[in-house]
Structure 1
Amino acid sequence: MASSAAPTVKICGIRSIEVLQAIAHLPVAHIGFVFARSKRQVTPEQAGEMIRFLQKKALTGDDIPLTVGVFVNPSEDELLQTLQTAPLDVVQLHGQESPEFCKRVKEQFGVLVIKAVLLQKSGDRVPTLAAVAEQLDDYRGSIDAVLLDTFDPVYGGGSGNAFAWNCIPPYQEWAREVGVKLLVAGGLQPDNVTQLLEDYQPDGVDVSSGVETDGVKDVSKITAFVERVIHHGSST
C-alpha cells in the first residue's frame, strides 16, 4: 500500500452484487465489507459470494478493487473462519487491537492491515507529532495504513459524522515518516470530499453512509463521490 500521488477511494459497507455491478466501471481502489456489528454487517458467506463475482471479472482481464474486511476486536479464530469463506485482500481493524495482534494477522493470513484511529467529532486540541508517535510508533512494521475515523459510542466507527479535520496533519506526518498510507473516513460525502482533499491531501478516502439514500448504497452518489476525487487528482 505504497503512497501514490492520486488519492484512492474505498467504498465501504457493500452488501450486494448488484451494487458491485453498477459501480464496476469506476476507479474504486477498495471495496469494504463490514463484519463487525453494524446495520451494514454481512456474513462471510455473503462477502464470499461478492468476492467470487469480482474474481470472475478479473479472469476476463478487468481491473478489480482490493477487498477489505472491517472487524472490531476479532479473535484470530474469527478471522481464520471468515477468510476461509471470504478470501479478503485487506483486514481493517477498528478496535483496540495491539501491534502484536496486527503483526500476527499480517504474517499468518498474508493480508494487508489497516488500523483505525478513532477521533472525536470536535476537539480543541490538535495532537502533536510526538503524541501521535507515542500512540502509534509500536505499530511500525505491523500495519500498512492508518485510517482516521470518527468515534461512535455504539459501533466504534461508521457514525456518518466528521471528526475535527484539523487533527489530520500530525497523523499524516507520522504516516509519511513511517511509509504507510493515511486514509480518512467519517462523514465524507460528494459535497465535502473536495474540501478535505484540498486542505489535507490524504492518501485515500473512505465513504459509506455518505453515498447512501435511506440506508442503501446510491449508485449516483457513489459516482459523484468518485468523480470529485478523480477531478481533484487530475487538477493537482
Structure 2
Amino acid sequence: MGNTVVKICGLQDVEVLKSMLNLSVDYVGFVFANSRRQVTAEQAAVLIQQLKDWQNETRPESVGVFVNPEMEFLDSVMAQAPLDVIQLHGQEDAAFCHEVKDRFGVKVFKVIQVQGKGIENRSNSFEQQIISKEYVGAIDALLLDTFDPIYGGGSGHTFSWEQIPHYQSWSKELGIPLFVAGGLQPSNVGELVTKYRPYGVDVSSGVESNGMKDIEKMKEFVERVKQI
C-alpha cells in the first residue's frame, strides 16, 4: 500500500513549500525551462535550503527540470542550487545524460513526450533511441509526459494511457523506474495507479488553483496515490 512515489513539480514559493511539510511527497520539482513556473537559480537555492531545513528523514529530493540545456547553464545552476536530480525534457541523447550524471553526481530523469493520440514521428525515432539501450546506466528513471509543442511538457493534458504498458515492459526489462505525468489530478490519479501501477506519478497544474499551488489539492492528490 502506498508504494507509488509522488513528484510535485513547478514549485516557486517558499511559503507553499513550508505548507507541504507533512505531505508524503518524494520529489519536488523546480522548472528552469521556459514556463510560467520558471525559477532562477537564485530562487531555487532558497527553495532547496528550505527543504534542507526540514527535520524529516523522508524529506523530498529536489529535481531541476531542463529542456535541451547547455552544459554551461547546468554548471551555473548547480553551483548555486545543488539539485538532487536533473530532469531532461528535450532531445538529449544518451551521451549527454551520461555526462550530466558523471559531472554532477546526481540522478538523471529522462522524459519521453507522448502524443495525446499516439506517438508522433519525431517522438517515435526518439523512442527507438531509448529502446536501443544506450540510456542504460545514464538515467535513473524514465518519465512519460504529454507532448507539448511550445513548452515540451506541463500542458495539463493526458496522453493515451493505453501506451503505458509498452514503456513499462521496456523499463521493467532494464530495471529503470517509470514515472507517468501529463494531466494528472486528484480525480484521475487513483485510476492510473490502480490500473497501471507506475513506479511514480508527477503532477503540476493538476494541484493548482488560479495558477498557484493549492495545498488542499496537493494533500488530496498524495492521499489518493498513497492509499492504493
Letter in 2 for 1:103: H
User: Corresponding residue for 2:93?
Assistant: 98
**How many pairs does the alignment contain?**
222
Q: Does the residue aligned with 1:49 lie in a helix, a strand or coil?
A: helix
Letter in 1 for 2:144: L
* Structure 2: gaps (5+ residues): 121-125
User: Corresponding residue for 1:112?
Assistant: 107
Q: Does the residue aligned with 1:138 lie in a helix, a strand or coil?
A: coil
Contact 1:117 1:146 in 2 (8 A): yes
Question: Alpha carbons of 1:61 and 1:7: their partners in 2 closer, same or farther (altered >3 Å)?
Answer: closer
Contact 1:150 1:159 in 2 (8 A): yes
User: Corresponding residue for 1:30?
Assistant: 27
C-alpha displacement of 1:138: 1.4
C-alpha displacement of 1:179: 1.0
**Partner Cα separation in structure 1 for residue 129 and residue 102 of structure 2:** 24
Q: Does 1:74 align with 2:69?
A: yes
Q: Pick from 1, 4, 8 the counterpart of residue 7 of structure 1.
A: 4
Q: TM-score, normalised by structure 2?
A: 0.93
C-alpha displacement of 1:56: 1.8
C-alpha displacement of 1:43: 0.5
Q: Does the residue aligned with 1:80 lie in a helix, a strand or coil?
A: helix
User: Corresponding residue for 1:187?
Assistant: 183
C-alpha displacement of 1:134: 5.1
Q: Does 1:49 align with 2:46?
A: yes
Q: Does 1:165 align with 2:164?
A: no
C-alpha displacement of 1:124: 8.7
Q: Does the residue aligned with 1:81 lie in a helix, a strand or coil?
A: helix
Letter in 1 for 2:199: D
Contact 2:2 2:227 in 1 (8 A): no
Contact 1:132 1:170 in 2 (8 A): no
| 1:33-75 deviation line (CA, Å, top 9, x unaligned) | 0000000000000010011111122xx4543100000000001
Give the superposed CA RMSD.
1.7
C-alpha displacement of 1:5: 7.6
C-alpha displacement of 1:132: 5.2
Letter in 2 for 1:38: S
C-alpha displacement of 1:170: 1.4
Fraction of identical pairs, as percent: 51
Q: Does 1:215 align with 2:211?
A: yes
Letter in 1 for 2:66: F
User: Corresponding residue for 1:226?
Assistant: 222
Question: Alpha carbons of 1:124 and 1:76: their partners in 2 closer, same or farther (altered >3 Å)?
Answer: closer
Aligned runs of 1:120-131 on 2, under 5 Å?
Answer: 120-123=115-118
User: Corresponding residue for 2:123?
Assistant: none
* Structure 1: gaps (5+ residues): 126-130
**Partner Cα separation in structure 2 for residue 230 and residue 198 of structure 1:** 11
